[in-house]
Amino acid sequence: MMAVQGQAVPELVAGGQAVERYRRSRRSDLAIWWREIDRSLLVMVLILMGIGVAAVAAASPAGAQRLGKEDLYFFLLNLTWQIIGLAVLFTASHLSKTTARQAGILIAALSIFLLLLVPVIGAEVNGAKRWIRLGISLQPAELLKAGYPILLAWILSWRAREPELPVIELSVVLMGLVAMLLMLQPDFGSTMLFAGTWFVLVLLSGISLRRIAAIGAAGAFALSATYLLYDNARHRIDSFLGGGTAFDQVYLAQRTLLNGGFTGTGFWQGNRKFSLPEAHTDYIFSVIGEEFGLLCCAALVIIYFAILLRGLVRLLDEEDLFTVLAGAGLLCQLGGQAFINILVNLQLFPSKGMTLPFVSYGGSSTIAQCLCVGLLLAITRRNPFLGGEATARFGGGDRR
């Protein structure tokens, strides 16, 4: 009995030491992660998500009553998606730069595969076939926003090692495939967002002025052809240029936005939001304006600008081409979607059906946007003790 006990005590001690070492290791990993990520950007994104919780709570009755649901129906669902999104964000931000790149490429490949399936098994909503229902409704175009900039940056970064590789041509093929699959849904807004991201990354990769002029001419031709051949885009552009009517979504959104003045009508005191078809998603910026005021809207715009500026300043110190391109692409996706949504609500842009990142309700969009930020934080992770002379000594690149 004593022998058994004598053997058991060292085993218990050893097990306790192993648990303690594991705990210290976990604390050490978290400390390294906290030191290396862009904490300012993370805090601003969390502030946006907090604003989104309040905004969806304000907009939820307008959408829920149309479906015969309880007033807080979308608010409670949004909390669930926010929690899942936060888990995705923090998990992705813990990845190394190499793993984040591999994950982004895999996400892009999976999203393109799902886009190929949308015309076959996709579900149609409001005249567009953009969703695949696999227990939950998944929008592959939203998921692609997290992977596309990384895949594109990876392709364009080959040029740094092999200048003779036709990376621009390969990127054109990728953009053409994505555009074709999106226009089949149809999703003109997302096509323009991806095209804008592609154009920015191609410019940053360093191409000749002749090619820039050719890309500009091709873009103008594509827009003209879209206007002539794509009825949905033509109707929206014509409505926008014609000034709208009392029944246009964009007109209703602007009226709702201005109804609260500078300080707003107060939480749940707005009434014009009930006239909006998608108050909790596409036009949540107008609901914020009505119930919380134009000053709150201005603060929201400033936060988006601050996120973009912070991200770009972070990239200025990077020497690795892939990091610069991937980070810029992810920022372009987030910033472009945010300002398209805001401009639509201000009646300064044709209606596009895009959510406001981190603020609007949405399952696929919330998870995709959190994944974007998580991958951005992972790609731009930096050891604060490697800089200046150390950076020059080690040649930049992945400084983890």
pLDDT of residue 362: 86
- DSSP, res 265: S
The identity of residue 32, as a single letter, is I
44 or 385, which is more confident? Answer: 44
pLDDT of residue 7: 52
Q: For the segment 193-207, what is each residue's pLDDT rounded down to a tens digit? A: 999 999 999 988 877
pLDDT of residue 206: 77
Token pair listed for 230: 């794509």
pLDDT at residue 245 is higher than 50: no
Q: Which of 83, 44, 23, 20 has its CA nearest to residue 377?
A: 44
The identity of residue 270, as a single letter, is G
pLDDT at residue 148 is higher than 90: yes
Token pair listed for 358: 């981190």
Output b/e per residue, 174-200; b: 16+ Cβ within 10 A: bbeebbebbbebbbbbbbbbbbbbbbb
Query: Is residue 49 a contact partner of residue 358, using CB atoms and an 8 Å limit?
Result: yes
The Cβ-side half-sphere exposure at 296, using a 13 Å CA radius, reads 26
* H or E element at residue 124: strand 123-125
60 or 239, which is more confident? Answer: 60
pLDDT of residue 184: 85
**Any idea which of 2-6, 13-17, 100-104, 345-349 has the lowest mean pLDDT?**
2-6
pLDDT of residue 241: 62
pLDDT of residue 394: 33
Query: Is residue 268 a contact partner of residue 58, using CB atoms and an 8 Å limit?
Result: yes
Tell me the C-alpha distance between 74 and 145, whole Å.
24
Section 44-63 average pLDDT: 94
Which pLDDT band, with edges at 50, 70 and 90, does 270 fall under?
A: confident
293 or 239, which is more confident? Answer: 293
pLDDT at residue 344 is higher than 80: yes
pLDDT of residue 18: 58
pLDDT of residue 119: 85
| Coil, helix or strand at residue 348 | coil
Sign of CA dihedral 262, 268, 272, 278: positive
**Any idea which of 151-155, 231-235, 308-312 has the lowest mean pLDDT?**
231-235
Section 212-231 average pLDDT: 71
pLDDT of residue 25: 65
What counts of helices (H) and strands (E) characterise the chain?
15, 3
Q: Is 25 left (phi over 0), alpha (psi -120 to 50) or beta?
A: alpha
Start-to-end Cα distance in the chain: 52
**Any idea which of 8-22, 49-63, 376-390 has the lowest mean pLDDT?**
8-22
pLDDT at residue 38 is higher than 90: yes
Tell me the C-alpha distance between 333 and 312, whole Å.
13
pLDDT at residue 115 is higher than 70: yes
Between the ranges 22-36, 63-77, 89-103, 163-177, where is the mean pLDDT highest? 89-103
pLDDT of residue 230: 65
Average confidence score pLDDT of the chain: 83
Tell me the C-alpha distance between 353 and 341, whole Å.
8
**Any idea which of 67-81, 245-259, 307-321 has the lowest mean pLDDT?**
245-259
pLDDT of residue 236: 63
Give me Rg for the CA atoms of the chain. 24
Cα angle value 329/332/333 (rounded, 5°): 90
Section 353-373 average pLDDT: 92
pLDDT of residue 196: 92
Which pLDDT band, with edges at 50, 70 and 90, does 39 fall under?
A: very high
pLDDT at residue 82 is higher than 80: yes
Between the ranges 8-17, 136-145, 224-233, 284-293, where is the mean pLDDT highest? 284-293
pLDDT at residue 12 is higher than 70: no
pLDDT of residue 123: 76
Which pLDDT band, with edges at 50, 70 and 90, does 9 fall under?
A: low
